């Protein structure tokens, strides 16, 4: 008899969702969710927003209560790092943790997320040089922020900019150092990058583009300044490095799954071994046309986890959801729906300086994505088009005198 249980490695957004979706689908299989962190699964987005600003408690971050897992017969094992997995031909196997606990399973789900990309430059191990991925990082950063005067954020991505906004709002001197020639360069069009630059500058942060970080200088064991590639240096008693994520693929590699940057999965959450599923930030989705897509977001983790659970429950259902994302930077709420990669035109609707506008991305005349700044209606409308069908005439989409909803053609 094969082992009846499902083992989920990685107890966060995707892992908790696999477990929840299994129960929602009526699966009665024993489910064990093993995670390395000492906490029940919690939300990460507030870590660089409300939690960092001291406006959210640890308890408020929890995705589900302990009672939820108990009453749904989901065994959550915290503080256990899965160090090795042996997989049999039928997809069953055994996982062993660093502390020596073993877990037999009939099917395996990998939801191992990622770890911050680290800088290995002189001074990188000085006190005050921090990263932000998990709750313990956020507690450390929040404490350090209270005592800091000069904060340097390395990396002009979402997490860095959100943290910079919190630091600035609490009265710190903030410098953001970005190696590329614009902020959020991998995610948004230049017009949106320019807007973010201006919005942060208006609030008093200094943004240094096209500058690399050469070293961190210190006094004793503490960081005191950051040396830049242009020969200048900026004072710092706190540095947050936010230069991206490295997907955790160690276990997947050990059991011979195809990994590129992340664990390669299909639209059903299946890895290169169809008995093993994966979901969330640890994956690269094979889009079917030769492209590998990795989206590090809550919505993606949930959608992929649902697809993986459907596969485990024996009723494979492909991922259908349109990607969406949000970022809060001071009172700027940026909402993103769709994938702008491959767009050939951009229409700006509204005036960026007003801090309420949207950028619509088109490919061959069809809207494929929106970035909305304090413009929730534009966001909702484009998301609905992407979810349910419809189109927007590109030549009129920028006309702010006409509500976007009046321009939509054929919403199904």
Ligand X SMILES: Cc1cc2nc3c(=O)[nH]c(=O)nc-3n(C[C@H](O)[C@H](O)[C@H](O)COP(=O)(O)OP(=O)(O)OC[C@H]3O[C@@H](n4cnc5c(N)ncnc54)[C@H](O)[C@@H]3O)c2cc1C
Q: Under the rule (CB under 6 A), what is the footprint of ligand X? A: 9-15, 34-37, 44-45, 47-48, 81-82, 111-114, 132-133, 159, 248, 251, 280-282, 296-299, 301, 325-327
Pick the closer one to ligand X by CB: 135 or 189.
135
Q: How far is the CB of 220 from ligand X (least distance, A)?
A: 29
Helix (H, G, I), strand (E, B) or coil at 277: strand
**What residues pair up with 336 in beta bridges, in sequence order?**
325, 371
The whole-angstrom separation of Cα 78 and Cα 35 is 5
Q: How far is the CB of 343 from ligand X (least distance, A)?
A: 20
Helix (H, G, I), strand (E, B) or coil at 254: helix
Q: How far is the CB of 251 from ligand X (least distance, A)?
A: 6
Pick the closer one to ligand X by CB: 35 or 123.
35
Pick the closer one to ligand X by CB: 50 or 394.
50
* 329 Cα distance to chain centroid: 15
Pick the closer one to ligand X by CB: 173 or 296.
296
Residues 166, 49 contacting (CB under 8 angstroms): yes
Q: How far is the CB of 285 from ligand X (least distance, A)?
A: 12
Pick the closer one to ligand X by CB: 172 or 211.
172
The whole-angstrom separation of Cα 292 and Cα 301 is 16
Q: How far is the CB of 396 from ligand X (least distance, A)?
A: 31
Pick the closer one to ligand X by CB: 68 or 326.
326
Cβ neighbours around 146 below 10 Å, total: 11
- Give the chain's end-to-end CA distance (angstroms, integer): 48
Name the residue among 145, 191, 187 with its Cα closest to residue 169. Answer: 145
Pick the closer one to ligand X by CB: 81 or 388.
81
Q: Which phi and psi (to 5°) does residue 394 adopt? A: -60, -35
DSSP per residue, 318-362 = ---PPPEEEEEETTEEEEEEE--TT--EEEEES-GGGT-EEEEEE
Which two structure tokens, joined as six digits, stand for 141?
A: 């950063």
Q: How far is the CB of 43 from ligand X (least distance, A)?
A: 7
Q: How far is the CB of 393 from ligand X (least distance, A)?
A: 30
* 342 Cα distance to chain centroid: 21
Q: Which phi and psi (to 5°) does residue 403 adopt? A: -55, 140
């Amino acid at each position: 008899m094969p082992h009846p249980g499902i083992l989920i490695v990685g107890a966060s957004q995707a892992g908790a969702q696999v477990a929840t979706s299994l129960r929602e689908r009526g699966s009665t299989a024993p489910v064990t969710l093993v995670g390395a962190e000492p906490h029940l699964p919690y939300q990460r987005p507030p870590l660089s927003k409300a939690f960092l600003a001291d406006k959210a408690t640890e308890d408020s971050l929890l995705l589900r209560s302990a009672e939820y897992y108990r009453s749904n017969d989901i065994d959550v094992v915290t503080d256990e790092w899965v160090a090795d997995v042996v997989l049999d031909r039928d997809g069953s196997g055994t996982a062993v943790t660093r502390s020596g606990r073993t877990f037999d399973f009939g099917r395996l789900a990998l939801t191992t997320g990622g770890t911050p990309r680290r800088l290995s430059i002189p001074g990188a191990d000085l006190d005050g040089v921090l990263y932000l991925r998990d709750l313990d990082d956020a507690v450390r950063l929040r404490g350090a922020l209270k005592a800091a005067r000069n904060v340097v954020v390395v990396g002009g991505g979402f997490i860095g900019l959100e943290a910079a906004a919190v630091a600035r709002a609490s009265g710190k001197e903030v410098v953001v150092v970005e190696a590329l020639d614009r902020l959020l360069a991998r995610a948004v069009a230049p017009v949106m990058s320019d807007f973010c630059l201006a919005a942060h500058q208006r609030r008093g942060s200094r943004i240094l583009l096209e500058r690399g970080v050469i070293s961190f200088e210190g006094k004793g064991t503490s960081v005191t300044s950051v040396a830049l590639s242009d020969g200048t240096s900026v004072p710092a008693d706190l540095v947050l490095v936010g230069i991206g994520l490295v997907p955790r693929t160690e276990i997947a590699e050990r059991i011979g799954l195809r990994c590129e940057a992340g664990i390669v999965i299909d639209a059903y959450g299946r890895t290169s071994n169809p008995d093993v599923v994966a979901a969330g930030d640890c994956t690269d989705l094979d889009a079917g046309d030769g492209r590998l897509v990795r989206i590090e977001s809550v919505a993606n983790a949930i959608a992929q986890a649902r697809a993986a659970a459907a596969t485990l429950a024996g009723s494979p259902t492909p991922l259908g959801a349109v990607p969406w994302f949000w970022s809060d930077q001071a009172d700027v709420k940026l909402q993103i729906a769709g994938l702008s990669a491959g767009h050939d035109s951009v229409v700006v609707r509204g005036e960026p300086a007003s801090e309420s506008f949207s950028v619509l991305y088109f490919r061959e005349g069809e809207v494929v994505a929106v970035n909305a700044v304090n413009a929730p209606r534009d966001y909702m409308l484009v998301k609905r088009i992407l979810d349910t069908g419809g189109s927007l005439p590109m030549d009129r989409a920028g006309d702010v005198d006409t509500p976007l909803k009046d321009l939509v053609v054929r919403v199904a």
